Structure 1
Amino acid sequence: MTATPNYIVTTGDFIAEWMEDEDLNAAELARRLGTSRKHVSELLSGKAPLSHQVALDLERVTGIPARLWNLYESTYRGDLARLASEQELAAQYDRAKAFPLQYLRKFGYVTANARDRAGTVRQLLEILRVADLDAFWTTWRHGSVAYRRTATARDDVAKLATWLALAENSSGERSDGPPFDRPGLHALLPELRALTASDEPLDAVRTAIDSLHAVGVVLCFIPAVPGLGIHGATRWIGGRPLIQLSLLWKSDDQLWFTLFHELGHVLLHGDKDLYLSGDHTTAEDEANTWASDLLISPAIAATLPRGRDIAAVQEIAADLGIAPSIVLGRIQRETKDYAWGHSLKRKFEFSA
């Protein structure tokens, strides 16, 4: 990888090089250009910008095309702006530490190390898609995206915004999908439910991603940010629902239940709000009930065993065509007894 140089070559350096080759001093160059010695001195030092007219004058004096002089000047001014920007970025590092930088480094979203303050801030801003941290807070509080405004009262906005932004950036890779197909999603639900029982959990997840994409629903997985405590989120972007899951508890029952919970938001609720699992809202309660009833009907739920009977769990799951861990999870939630049946749960991990 080519490193960006930390020095600047001024347009005046190129002029001075030509003058040395031609054994010409500043006074003579000023006479030939028809300008003052002061202006030539400022050109040589980089203080005065090289105008298009001076570039044309230099073309006649030096024989070097004006486009090259203009290129030298553009490169010089760009380098000046780059170095100034590096200093401004480094100055924002202390504020950037409010964001989960260690998490971003762990999963490779930020590759700059802690010593590279400017690089760290630059990559964070690229994730957030803002020019600086002032712009981030202004956009979050007053921007046109409704879900940002609904979450401004939270005390973990920096973590939440980072997690949400990672999903939005990831979803851009599947932006060529079809529009949202509500009937198609309804028809897909039995297939998604059956995927929970697959012998190959990772393949089942990939199939779910592709199947949902075909009906205009984007599903992505973004690692949980420490301390955020959110299993899933749903909002609409570009007319399509975006569902992201965190694998917070890393178990297949939680993954599938959260997915169906978020699909409940897609089918039951509006397309203007952000829905975060764990929020104490009517919409969250409705999505919970919808997902629970879809996976295990209320009539069957009423007959589930209340004791620690793994064989019964497996038999019921086979009859229902769903993962045993989902039946187990339902029993555990209703009995508040979580200290058994762990062998029925399959684990998912993000690669760090």
Structure 2
Amino acid sequence: MITKVIQTENQYHAYLEEIQMLISLGSSLNSEQKDKLELLSVLIETYENTKYPVESPNPIDAILFRMSEKGLKQADLVQYFGTSSRVSEVLGGKRPLTVQMIRALSIGLGISADVLIGLSMPNTAVTNNAIDWSKFPIKEMAKRGWLSNLMGKTKTSAEDVIRNYILDAGLQFGAASFRKTLVGAAESPTTRYALYAWLARVIQKARNKKSSLGIFDREKLSANFLRELAQLSWSVSGPLLAVEYLENHGIAVIIEPHLKGTLLDGAALKDLDGTPIIGLTLRHDRLDNFWFTLLHEVAHIWKHVDKDDAFLDDLDASSDDRREAEANRLSREAFIPRLIWKRSDAFISPSKESIDKLSRELKIHPAIIAGRLRRETGNFQHFNDLVGHGLVKNMFLITSTESDA
């Protein structure tokens, strides 16, 4: 059959079937068949660009999804792309898929050739979007050891190092911005790059915990669940018990100090496979801040987080987002139900004695009550000796270098 420019849908589908047949031959393709495969790919691409101007599904999405599904890293793709640098360039949208790559990916990873054929040109929106790689805090990231597995390789630019770091966490870039949408008061144009770097680190650390996590069941999250978590604060080792409690229920909890310039207390998100993750910075080394932040993020996991959102919270800042308001309300109710709070001596006539009395009745740490009083009155010098200064970071062995970051 003579290969011609595609004029009809029947001809288009016939060429697709022929490509599938050629790809299925694998390494047994002769030079004539390889040329035929490449020619058909060009013809199909030209036809699709003309006939279907709406952007087709992105093959890079399919590759990244299969990587996540099979637990593969970029290094595992070298056998399909030839070199590690080609893997980075293709996933970053800087190099097109070749016929050989399409064939290898289709056979090796089981990705349909329909997804890969004709869709392999670099995503110009991605390649040309205004990503300023210099804004990533690469020096601080390197100092913390985040890039140890990526740096030190010959001919690797800072841009490639950061790109690989972000891609490895599944935070690949989309047409307008990062795929993961940041929600919350901590995000701003000046902090966005640092927050994505921090978020990637949290995701990577959470993946190292997955084998030890329990099974996550969202149906088990409830007001009673939050209440049980809140009452763990009654124990001297409450923060450690809380992390264990959450991880037994399939929620990874990561302690990672914030990067310089960011005002971040905590985060709630899901990994590509649906694993819920809570990140805590311990920016304020106080028990009241730890407990309120933790329950706030659990409330987000319960009510708000989906696969595309990451909630990044600066709990010192006000927010008009109804989801933030709901997370605040659920957290407050879990510690001190509103009706009890308004009728308590701690609220009506605050004192160390009334705070201690209410903490015993509710089986929660007095730091939580003191912290609520400070926030509601706006007097952050009040009950300064009750909020648990310096009692959290040491539990999690946060080093001075990290805590100063």
Provide the C-alpha distance between the structure 2 equivalents of 1:149 and 1:189, rounded to a whole number of angstroms.
Answer: 22
User: What is the DSSP-based 3-state SS (H/G/I as helix, E as strand, rest coil) of the residue aligned with 1:207?
Assistant: helix
Q: How much does 1:196 deviate?
A: 1.0
Provide the C-alpha distance between the structure 1 equivalents of 2:201 and 2:312, rounded to a whole number of angstroms.
Answer: 15
Q: How much does 1:147 deviate?
A: 2.3
Provide the C-alpha distance between the structure 2 equivalents of 1:321 and 1:162, rounded to a whole number of angstroms.
Answer: 38
Matched letter for residue 287 of structure 2: D
Pairs aligned (count): 260
Which residue in 2 is equivalent to 1:147?
A: 181
User: What is the DSSP-based 3-state SS (H/G/I as helix, E as strand, rest coil) of the residue aligned with 2:278?
Assistant: strand
Which residue in 2 is equivalent to 1:5?
A: none
Provide the C-alpha distance between the structure 2 equivalents of 1:154 and 1:79, rounded to a whole number of angstroms.
Answer: 32
Q: Percent identity, please.
A: 24
**Are the counterparts in 2 of residues 325 and 344 from structure 1 also a CA contact under 8 Å?**
yes
**Are the counterparts in 2 of residues 140 and 148 from structure 1 also a CA contact under 8 Å?**
no
> Aligned match of 2:293 in 235, 239, 258?
258
1:274 aligns with 2:310: yes
- Who wins on radius of gyration, i.e. which is larger? 1
Alignment of 1:106-125 (within 5 A): 106-110=143-147, 124-125=162-163
1:214 aligns with 2:252: no
Which residue in 1 is equivalent to 2:166?
A: 128
User: What is the DSSP-based 3-state SS (H/G/I as helix, E as strand, rest coil) of the residue aligned with 1:224?
Assistant: coil
> Aligned match of 1:198 in 235, 239, 264?
235
**Are the counterparts in 1 of residues 341 and 347 from structure 2 also a CA contact under 8 Å?**
no
Alignment of 1:78-93 (within 5 A): none
Provide the C-alpha distance between the structure 1 equivalents of 2:256 and 2:196, rounded to a whole number of angstroms.
Answer: 12
> Of Structure 1 and Structure 2, which has the larger fraction of its residues in helix?
1
Unaligned stretches of 5+ residues in structure 2: 1-81, 87-131
Query: Higher RCO, 1 or 2 (CA under 8 Å, sep at least 6)?
Result: 2
1:244-292 Cα distance to aligned partner (Å, 9 max, x none): 1111212111111011111111222252422222454110011101101
> Aligned match of 2:257 in 194, 198, 223?
223
With over 3 angstroms needed to count, the CA separation of the structure-2 counterparts of 1:121 and 1:311, relative to structure 1, is farther
Choose 171-180 or 249-258, whichever is displaced more: 171-180
**Are the counterparts in 2 of residues 192 and 208 from structure 1 also a CA contact under 8 Å?**
yes
**Are the counterparts in 2 of residues 265 and 287 from structure 1 also a CA contact under 8 Å?**
yes
Q: How much does 1:108 deviate?
A: 3.3
Matched letter for residue 328 of structure 2: N
CA RMSD of the aligned region, Å?
Answer: 3.9
With over 3 angstroms needed to count, the CA separation of the structure-2 counterparts of 1:227 and 1:211, relative to structure 1, is same
Unaligned stretches of 5+ residues in structure 1: 1-76, 82-94
1:172-229 Cα distance to aligned partner (Å, 9 max, x none): 11223344212433354343212212113xxx33332222122221211111122211
Q: How much does 1:334 deviate?
A: 1.2
Alignment of 1:30-179 (within 5 A): 96-110=133-147, 124-129=162-167, 138-139=173-174, 141=176, 145-147=179-181, 154-176=189-211, 177-179=213-215
**Are the counterparts in 2 of residues 251 and 345 from structure 1 also a CA contact under 8 Å?**
yes
Provide the C-alpha distance between the structure 2 equivalents of 1:181 and 1:153, rounded to a whole number of angstroms.
Answer: 33
With over 3 angstroms needed to count, the CA separation of the structure-2 counterparts of 1:314 and 1:100, relative to structure 1, is farther
Provide the C-alpha distance between the structure 1 equivalents of 2:183 and 2:327, rounded to a whole number of angstroms.
Answer: 22
User: What is the DSSP-based 3-state SS (H/G/I as helix, E as strand, rest coil) of the residue aligned with 2:347?
Assistant: coil
Provide the C-alpha distance between the structure 2 equivalents of 1:210 and 1:130, rounded to a whole number of angstroms.
Answer: 27
